[in-house]
């Protein structure tokens, strides 16, 4: 995970980790029995507390700062189908107005 590039753009600049399947803010509301059904490949035999899942590599997604937290691009700011479009877009496709190159 230490050398993993951003999942969205492949950049290795300003990398952060995103809690993908479960965030700490939701820890008290998670039904772990449901999570076991949704994530059968997680090593549940090691699970004792919420931390074991939430801070596990299984739950982490490496993202650059832009695709994690930036307005118009960050996974914390966009609906998931919109966010994932950034991974699938054609070269040159303008996803957000801040990507328009302007002559100065």
Of 53 and 61, which CB lies nearer to Zn ion in the complex structure? 61
Which two tokens mark 14?
Answer: 């300003």
Which range of residues in 24-32, 56-64, 77-85, 87-95 is near Zn ion by CB under 5 A? 56-64
Of 53 and 63, which CB lies nearer to Zn ion in the complex structure? 63
Question: Among 53, 62, 67, 74, which residue sits at the site for Zn ion (rule: CB under 5 A)?
Answer: 67
Contact 66, 73 (CB under 8 A): yes
Residue 18 φ then ψ, to 5° = -105, 135
Residue 62 lies near Zn ion (rule: CB under 5 A): no
Question: Among 9, 35, 60, 70, which residue sits at the site for Zn ion (rule: CB under 5 A)?
Answer: 9
> For residue 7, with 0-12 CB atoms within 10 Å meaning exposed, 13-18 middle and 19 or more buried, which class applies?
middle
User: What is the distance between the alpha carbons of residues 2 and 72, in angstroms, rounded to a whole number?
Assistant: 26
| Min dist. Cβ of residue 86 to Zn ion (A) | 8
């Amino acid at each position: 995970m230490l050398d993993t590039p951003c999942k969205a753009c492949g950049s290795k600049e300003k990398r952060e980790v995103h809690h993908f399947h479960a965030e700490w803010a939701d820890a008290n509301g998670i039904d772990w029995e449901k999570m076991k059904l949704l994530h059968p490949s997680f090593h549940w035999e090691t699970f004792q507390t919420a931390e074991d899942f939430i801070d596990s590599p299984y739950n982490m997604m490496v993202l650059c700062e832009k695709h994690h937290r930036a307005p118009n691009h960050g996974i914390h700011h966009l609906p998931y189908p919109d966010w994932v479009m950034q991974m699938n877009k054609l070269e040159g496709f303008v996803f957000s107005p801040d990507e328009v190159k302007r002559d100065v």
